[in-house]
Every structure is written in C-alpha cells, then in structure tokens.
Amino acid sequence: ARPPHDTMGDFRGHKRHRRNDGSHMRPMMGGRGGGRGGGPTPNQELMEMREAIIHCNGSPEMLRNLAGLLAHDLPSLTEPALKFIMECVTELPVKTPVYAALVGLLNVRVPEFVEEVVRAAIEQLEQKLGSSDPDDKTRARLLLRFIACLPSVGVISAEHALECLDAIVCGAVAAADDANPGWQPRADFLVYIVLAAMPWAGGSLSAHAETGNAAEIFDVLLSSVEEYLGRRSRGPDPASMTFAAADGRADDWLEELWGRVNEVRKAGAVAIEAWQVKSVPAVVEPFAEEIAAGSVNSHTPPPIAVPKMTFTGAAEALAMFPVRPRLRALAQAQTEGLWEAGDWGPLERYVAEEYIADTLWAFEPGFRRGAVIPAAEQLGTLPLPSDHPERCQFLVAETLFGEMLALPRPAHPCAFYHIVIQDLCKAIQSFPRMMAKVVGKMFSEIGRMDLEARERLPPPAGAPPPLF
C-alpha cells in the first residue's frame, strides 16, 4: 500500500531514496572528504548540519532529533544555523510547516536563537518586498507564510503575526490612496501574498483570535482586504487572458482567491475545522505539549515597513508583477469537487496550484542551487490528498498547461513544461489519459484562445504538419 499522500506516485520510492541519501543535493554542499586524522573538518560539520536541515521530512522522530542536535550546537553555530534555516524556508516551498515546527521546538531550548530567526524573517521579508527580482517575489510569499505559521508553534503571538499581515495590506491600500501610475499590479501582489498565507495559517490565527485582541485585528485585516478589493479595477489584464470570456465576463484572479478564503472564513466561524486543508501536513500536532511549554518564550517581532515602489505606467508594473496564471478548462467537479461536507474545501485547489508552481520554480533546470532531481519527480511526491487521485492528476495537468500558456510570457521556457509533462506521462500510467482530457477541452475552445498561447500548444495527435 502506498503512503496516505501518494496520489501521483510510481516513482516515490526511488525518489525518496535519493532524497534521504542526499545525493541530489551534493553539488551545492561541497566535498565530503575527511580532515586530518580522518575526523570531520569544521566545514564538513557545517555542511552536515545544512544537509540535516534540508532533508528533515517532518516526522516527529526526525524533528525532535534535529532540534536536539541544533540546540546542543547553539549558540556557537548561531550564524550558520540561522542562514541554513532561512535558506530552507525560502527555497523549499512545500516544507514551510516543517521548518515552523522545528523553530517551535528550538524555542523551548534556545529561545535567544529563535528570536534571531524572527528578526531575520522580518528583515528578509522587507528586503524581498522591495526587490524587482522575480524570484524574490516568490521568496516574499514564502517568508510571509512562515511568519504567519509561527503563532501555531508558540514563537510569536497571533496579534503580532496579524499586525505583520495587516501592515502589508495597509501598504496596498496606501498605494491605492496615492494612485500613482501603475499602482495596482504591485498592490494586488501585496494583498495576494497575505491571502496566500491563509490556507497554512488561517486556522491557527482564527483559533487564537478567540482570545485577547487578536479577534479585532483579524477582522480589521480581512476588512482591509475587502476595502482594497472595492477600490481596485476589477477584471483581468486583457494581455494576460489565455481564453477570451465565453459570456463576455471574465473572472478576476484576486477576487477568486478572496472568494475561497472568505468562504472558509464564514464556515470557520461556525466550525474551526473548516480551515483544515488536506494538502497541508499537520506537522505540529505531535508536539503540542512541548510547544505549549515554549510559548512562554514568545517573541516580539520588529515592526515591518513595506517599501514603496513607483512605475512609469501600467505596462512596467504588469511586467514586474504579472497576474497569477490560472487555467479552468475542466468542470469544477473534475478538479476539486463541489465543496460538499466531508469533501475537498475551497482552499484545496489553491494549495495544489501553489505546490505545483512552486515546485517548478524550485527545481527548474539551471536553478541556482544546482539541484539535479527532475521537477517531475518532485511533482510525483507532493502531499496532495489521496482520496481523489484522478482529481489530483487533472489538477497537475491543468496547472502545468496554465503555467505554460501564461501571458504575456511563462515563468520558464516552454520546453521545460513539455519535458515535465513528458516525464509525468512516462512515470504515471494514468496521467496521459488525464492530460488528454485537458488538451481536448482546450482544443475544443481554441477559437477563444489567444494566438500567442496557441503557438505554445503541441499539435493534437493526427494533425497535419504546418504549411509554413
């Protein structure tokens, strides 16, 4: 029997072996020869620490052992340990809850080190928010997700996390107030990364909001989001529409995400379980007692200042902050269900799309870390729900095509997406059938498809060769 989250899976066992022995990450960690007398050199010890943090899989035993080893070596290795943890937070998108749990366990033994983690997270978030590097936009989203998870492990209070989230939304509202040329794409991005943290942290923030003044801050945060949405221009950028709207009315990517979060928010007011997302591992639960003991060491993060950015116009802003790619070729029932009780909720599809896009980003060939594991292998091990494997494969196929057909340009070369799709078809026997349904649906609507997007699609089986 496969593990509970094995929904894509015929190469899971092989890939897990490669991950655990660390062979796929060796190029970025240097040599492993011994020092004089056969003992490890200081540099080797640091690399072994880094390797242990990278490969922490979130199991209770591994997390406890790793936290104990790191606590033993601190504070003498504070600087490298801090660097390695923050590197993993910003470069391994699927494992945010794992590193939040690790920091929560460290907070019990070495709170002074965790205070440095909190400070570094805020400082790096400010830096990424002011950067024009496309990769830094992804890192800013991951850092904010990590910060939003810290109240669930007793590292910071819910009030402080919510104040950080609210400061970013206020930055978007301030941009709307100033109304400088091209303000909306970047302001949309700020609101997006706040909403993007909710599937991972909305439940814990809502639960903590029952006490203190967190409830008021939580309401203010979501009210600020609603205020912002009411002030922006609704509807997609015409240059980013892969398909023209069939009824003349195109939905808005940010409004869709807000609708999903707000649907869960309303259900969560009745039952907190509504915030549970099957794709987000409940890593923290086995450590409830330890984390409760460490919560007395709760830290106060420094206030965050959202850097302002100016643009010459909408074209420059949209090039720097494009809309989030989406493809809705199949019916909702095929890809996520109808949000019925006991089935997938509104946030499940969004989390799956984030996992897929972030995995492509992290393991695209030529990525700065020198990782050599193909992205297709990583996609096959995502913690997607195991109760509906067909839905998961439809989602992977639809999301891959949505990323490949993104306008005005995809995040990666089209050939990369072709190779990933090819590898998935080879590795997973049922995937070609799911992908064929997505492709067939797209070709049935090709009259509404943007001409640039048509050029990126492979021709259907049996199609005649091009005339020129």
When pLDDT is cut at 50, 70 and 90, the band that residue 30 belongs to is very low
21 has a pLDDT exceeding 50: no
Nearest to 146 by CA among 218, 191, 92, 188: 92
- The predicted pLDDT at position 246 comes to 76
The C-alpha atoms of residue 356 and residue 279 are separated, in whole angstroms, by: 12
280 has a pLDDT exceeding 60: yes
Whole-Å CA distances, 243 to 161, 333, 395? 38, 20, 18
- The predicted pLDDT at position 143 comes to 98
The C-alpha atoms of residue 335 and residue 331 are separated, in whole angstroms, by: 7
Q: Among 9-18, 117-126, 348-357, where is mean pLDDT lowest?
A: 9-18
- The predicted pLDDT at position 238 comes to 76
Which is more confident, 18 or 154? 154
| pLDDT, tens digit, 9 for 90 and up, residues 416-459 | 898 899 889 988 999 999 999 999 999 999 999 999 999 888 66
- The predicted pLDDT at position 180 comes to 96
210 has a pLDDT exceeding 60: no
pTM of the predicted protein model? 0.89
13 has a pLDDT exceeding 50: no
- Tell me what the mean pLDDT of segment 273-294 comes to: 91
370 has a pLDDT exceeding 70: no
- Tell me what the mean pLDDT of segment 19-48 comes to: 50
Nearest to 91 by CA among 99, 103, 81, 101: 99
- The predicted pLDDT at position 248 comes to 65
333 has a pLDDT exceeding 90: yes
Mean pLDDT of the chain: 86
Nearest to 150 by CA among 42, 14, 39, 291: 291
385 has a pLDDT exceeding 70: yes
| pLDDT, tens digit, 9 for 90 and up, residues 157-192 | 999 999 999 999 999 999 999 999 999 999 999 999
> What residues contact 36, with CB distance under 8 A and at least 6 apart?
none
Cα first-last separation, the chain: 51
Distance of CA 416 to the CA centre of its chain: 20
